[in-house]
Structure 1
Amino acid sequence: MARHDDTDSEFDPTGERERSVGEGLFDETMSPGSAFAHLYRGEIHRMKFWRERLDRTTNWAVTIMAAILTWAFSSPDRPHYIILVGVAAVTMFLVIEARRYRGYDIWRSRVRLLQENVFANALDPSSGVEDRQWRRELSEDYRRPVAKIGREEAIVHRLRRIYLPLLSLLLLAWLLRVAVLTPDAEWPASAAVGAISGLLVTAAVALFYALLAFVAFRPRQWHAMGELRRQDVGAWEDED
């Protein structure tokens, strides 16, 4: 233990030897192939780990949605608002998955940078690299990792790919439940939840899905294209 402390006390990060650690590791004279292979393998592993986290969130959302729909249609006496509880639960999973997607995109963007500028160039040197500043950009990203896309873009990406179909299915199920499978009351009275009138509940549902459609399909400039960014992307920012 004392030996470890002595070693730490002798380490000077500002010293000339310490500052030159790793210098020239990827130069041609140092045979960079092995170093690049290990670097790329590590980035692929991290990207795969975060991809699995995305899949787990989606699986939970589908499982809960299936359980709620099964229970809601198992008897005509089941309250229709349990489907709206499912809408809220799936929306919560959407927000969680969007946050995880921002983490996943950090590793994905690095992998794409290596693929475009190292491996593609190695396979066909006549085309050159896609970004002449890729080494500097990757170095800056390793020093100060930042999110490459904003929260809105991450939400929209997962909404279009996964959650809009799931939420649309829940909407159709709810409409079927209140408009067709409630014989003792007609719409909009059949959509009432306790003291809240059916018309107000229907208006709230319509407003929520209109907001989803606006967020999902409004024109925007996409940032999740593989490039690295030097500044963290804020939440719900206006795209250039």
Structure 2
Amino acid sequence: MDGQGNGRKPLDTAEIGALAHLYRAEIYRSTIWRTRLDTTTNWSVVTLGVALSITFSSPQASPLPLVLVGILIIFFLMLEARRYRYFNVWRARCRWMELNFMAPMLNDGDLRMDTGWQDRLAEDYRRPAYHVSLRTAIGRRIRRNYFWILLIQTAAYLGKLAVHPAALQSFGELLERAAVGPIPGWLVLGVGLLYCFSWGAIALWSLREDRKRARWRRDPLGMG
């Protein structure tokens, strides 16, 4: 029987029942935090939609709302990344129990207590910590949702400069239209390019790290 021969006592019926209730609680918490992720994404979509409506309301309307909405999108992205780090804790615990408790029990009835999976889970409850860095969380959220939000924002801004109030005729005219008050157009476009490049670089970095983590995971007991 599992747990015998390695100094561990096997789980009794009451303990297995308690673990089942713990799994249900973690599922509930992960569901709640998953909903909170959707909320911040919706905020970003709504604010971008408002900025698009204002900017394209008339040919004379300023493209500035599409620039300013970028600040709100950054704020929502950072908030969502923070929420994702919490969600990832509950998700990882659920997946850990599914992989090491539910699946072996369904497969051959052996809880495999000798592998030490329960030690890692217990330690995570004693000393809870994030399983991913903030940068990784930001990159994942960009790849999942914010890539399209940022793409639409950038395309709409460039489209506004290209067609309103009339079709663009020269690069100098583009710089003139991009200017915001005393801020020259080249600086505004340069900051916009840096804005897009930075989020794209973080997304690509996190993709590479996630692939490396999945392929070369050294710790067989790792969570997250």
Q: TM-score range by the shorter chain?
A: 0.7 to 0.9
Of 182, 197, 204, the match for 2:184: 197
Identify the residue that residue 133 of structure 1 maps to in structure 2: 116
SS of residue matched to 2:57:
coil
The CA distance in 2 between the partners of 1:102 and 1:130, in whole Å, is 28
- Which residue type is aligned with residue 165 of structure 1? W
Q: Is the 8 Å Cα contact of residues 106 and 147 (structure 1) preserved in structure 2?
A: yes
The CA distance in 2 between the partners of 1:38 and 1:28, in whole Å, is 15
Q: CA deviation at 1:133?
A: 1.8
Q: CA deviation at 1:30?
A: 4.1
Identify the residue that residue 228 of structure 1 maps to in structure 2: 223
1:7-29 CA-partner distances (Å, limit 9, x unpaired): xxxxxxxxxxxxxxxxx9x9433
Q: Is the 8 Å Cα contact of residues 97 and 158 (structure 1) preserved in structure 2?
A: yes
Aligned residues between the structures? 205
Of 53, 69, 78, the match for 1:86: 69
Is residue 215 of structure 1 aligned with residue 202 of structure 2?
yes
Of 66, 83, 87, the match for 2:49: 66
Using the size of structure 1 for normalisation, the TM-score is 0.78
Q: CA deviation at 1:84?
A: 0.7
Q: CA deviation at 1:128?
A: 7.5
Change (3 A) 1:201 1:129: farther
The CA distance in 2 between the partners of 1:162 and 1:131, in whole Å, is 40
Q: Is the 8 Å Cα contact of residues 121 and 127 (structure 1) preserved in structure 2?
A: yes
Q: Is the 8 Å Cα contact of residues 117 and 131 (structure 1) preserved in structure 2?
A: no
The CA distance in 2 between the partners of 1:198 and 1:130, in whole Å, is 64
- Which residue type is aligned with residue 212 of structure 1? W
The CA distance in 1 between the partners of 2:12 and 2:144, in whole Å, is 45
Q: CA deviation at 1:107?
A: 0.5
Q: Which runs of 5+ in 1 are unaligned?
A: 1-23, 230-240
Alignment of 1:113-192 (within 5 A): 113-125=96-108, 132-183=115-166, 186-192=173-179
Q: CA deviation at 1:183?
A: 2.5
- What is the root-mean-square deviation of aligned Cα atoms in Å? 2.6
The CA distance in 2 between the partners of 1:99 and 1:112, in whole Å, is 20
Change (3 A) 1:115 1:184: closer
Using the size of structure 2 for normalisation, the TM-score is 0.83
- Which residue type is aligned with residue 223 of structure 2? L
Q: Is the 8 Å Cα contact of residues 44 and 107 (structure 1) preserved in structure 2?
A: yes
Q: Which runs of 5+ in 2 are unaligned?
A: 1-7
Q: Is the 8 Å Cα contact of residues 182 and 190 (structure 1) preserved in structure 2?
A: no
Higher helix share: 2
The CA distance in 2 between the partners of 1:163 and 1:130, in whole Å, is 41
Change (3 A) 1:180 1:129: farther
The CA distance in 2 between the partners of 1:197 and 1:184, in whole Å, is 21
Q: CA deviation at 1:190?
A: 0.9
SS of residue matched to 1:28:
coil
The CA distance in 1 between the partners of 2:196 and 2:62, in whole Å, is 21
Q: Matched residues, percent identical?
A: 35
